[in-house]
Amino acid sequence: MKKIAVLLSGCGVFDGTEVHEAVLSLLAITRAGAQYQCFAPDINQMHVVNHLTGEVNTEETRNVLVESARIARGEVLNASNLVVNDYDGLVIPGGFGAAKNLSNFATTGSNCHINPIVENFIRDFANVRKPVGFVCISPVMIPQIYGQGATGTIGNDNDTAQAFNEMGGKHQFAKVDDIVVDEEHKVVSTPAYMLATSILEAHVGIEKLVNKVIEMMD
C-alpha cells in the first residue's frame, strides 16, 4: 500500500494549517486506497490569531507540532525525523501557516526563505524524485525547492503569481477545481481556498491533486 506524508503547519487557517484542506487531503488519500502519516516541524508559530475575531494575540505563543496534533488526532511526527524511504509521496495543505510558519512568504513575499527544517523535509522528496502535492498558498515554496522554471499555481491572484515568477518559478493561472502538473519535477498544485467559496469546491481540486500524486508514484 502506498504511503503519503502530509506536512502540517499548525491548526487554523489564519495562523496554521487550513483545517478543511488538511482533512480533505487525508480523506482523499484514504479513499484512494493509500495510507498517510502527518508531520510538522517542532517550531513556534509566527503568531497566534483569535479565529473568532481575526485579532493577533501578542501575549500567546504556540508550537506548530503541538497544534498540528489537533488535526492529526495526536498521530503526528516531528518533521526532523523523516525517513523519506518510508514514503512514496508528500502532500502539503495550505493555510497561512504555510506562509507564516513553514516559510516567511507572508511578510517578505518573493524575498522569502523556507524554514530549514521544512526545506530539508521537502527536499528529501524532491531529491529522490518522489511526487509532491502543494495546496492553496503552499505552492509559493515550489520555486525555492525545485529551482528555475518549476511550474505551479496559486489560482489567479496577480500579486502572488508575480512573486512566484520573481522567485524563478513559472506560474500558471488555474480555476478552483483545476490542478497544475509539473511532470519534470513531479509537482502538483491546486488553488483550493485561494479561490474556493465552499468546502465542496476545495474538495474537487484536492482530490484531483491527491489522485495525481498517487498516479505519479513509481
Task: Catalogue the active-site residues.
Answer: 136
Which three cell numbers mark 207?
A: 482530490
Q: Is 2 in a helix, a strand, or coil? A: coil
Nearest to 65 by CA among 44, 48, 85: 44
How many Å apart are CA 184 and CA 89, to the nearest integer? 15
- Residue-wise DSSP of 155-184: -S-HHHHHHHHHTT-EE----TT--EEETT
How many Å apart are CA 64 and CA 67, to the nearest integer? 5
